[in-house]
């Protein structure tokens, strides 16, 4: 398995971008986002998403993000986008001069959630590792690309077959920034099978 940028396809293109085998740069377009219904009730589905397709049921994808975000809700990260109502993402979302939200969103059948933790606004780089075991997914983050910490384990109801995964960047309000993606690796699943409590018998 390999992550070849020549195999990537856009779901909505940004205003400006640059793609090589080793680096992807995206200049975000103002008022772009991914969110469905929950709490806010509105639906936003216009963020640029750049992905490759795979039928691999067990894999890990690693990417380093660097970002010049400086306006509320500016964000970039890793994504599995199946369609407007079924997807997941992990990112650092800028809030103000003091904090940002390191978090993830999982959207199943048109309803999003949001799990976050506060980090310093001076952080301008983050690594992610997305791992798949059939229809279950693990999102991890790292400051150095070596030691990864679990952000969440989740299930995508429509994510058991062929999927698309990759990167995204967006600016939900009236702003724009540059996001860079490097050190992209696609390979053997690094999320081990569960070895604790056995599944309940049917």
pLDDT at 195: 83
Q: What is the pLDDT of residue 12?
A: 94
Domains and CATH numbers, the chain: 5-187 (2.60.120.200)
Task: Note the pTM of the prediction, 2 decimals.
Answer: 0.95
pLDDT digits (tens, 9 = 90+) for 52-106: 999 999 999 999 999 999 999 999 999 999 999 999 999 999 999 999 999 999 9
If you average pLDDT over residues 125-129, what whole number do you get? 98
State residue 87's pLDDT score.
Answer: 98
Give residue 196's pLDDT band: very low, low, confident or very high (50, 70, 90).
confident
For the cut 70, the answer to whether the pLDDT of residue 198 exceeds it is: yes
In this predicted structure, the answer to whether residue 202 has a pLDDT above a threshold of 80 is no
- Per-residue model confidence as pLDDT tens digits over 133-190: 999 999 999 999 999 999 999 999 999 999 999 999 999 999 999 999 999 999 999 9
HEC per residue, the chain: CCCCHHHCEEECCCCEEEECCCEEEEECCECCCEEECCCCCCEEECCCEEEEEECCCEEEEEEEEEECCCCCCCEEEEEEEEECCEEEEEEEEECCCCEEEEEEEEEECCEECCEEEEEECCCCEEEEEEEEECCEEEEEEECCCCCCEEEEEEECCCCCCCEEEEEEEEECCCCCCEEEEEEEEEECCCCCCCCCCCCCCC
């Amino acid at each position: 398995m390999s992550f070849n940028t020549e195999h990537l396809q856009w779901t909505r293109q940004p205003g400006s971008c640059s793609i090589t085998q080793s680096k992807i740069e995206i200049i975000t377009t103002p008022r772009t986002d991914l969110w469905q219904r929950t709490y806010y009730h509105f639906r936003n589905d216009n963020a640029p998403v750049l992905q490759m397709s795979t039928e691999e049921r067990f894999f890990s994808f690693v990417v380093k993000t660097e970002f010049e975000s400086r306006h509320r809700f500016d964000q970039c990260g890793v994504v599995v986008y199946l369609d407007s109502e079924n997807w997941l993402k992990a990112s650092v979302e800028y809030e103000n001069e003091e904090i940002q939200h390191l978090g993830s969103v999982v959207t199943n059948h048109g309803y999003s959630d949001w799990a976050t933790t506060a980090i310093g606004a001076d952080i301008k780089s983050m690594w992610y590792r997305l791992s798949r075991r059939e229809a279950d997914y693990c999102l991890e983050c790292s400051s150095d690309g070596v030691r990864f910490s679990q952000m969440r384990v989740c299930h995508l109801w429509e994510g058991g077959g062929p999927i698309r995964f990759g990167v995204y960047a967006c600016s939900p309000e009236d702003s724009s920034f540059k996001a860079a993606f490097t050190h992209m690796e696609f390979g053997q699943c690094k999320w081990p099978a569960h070895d604790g409590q056995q599944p309940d018998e049917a």
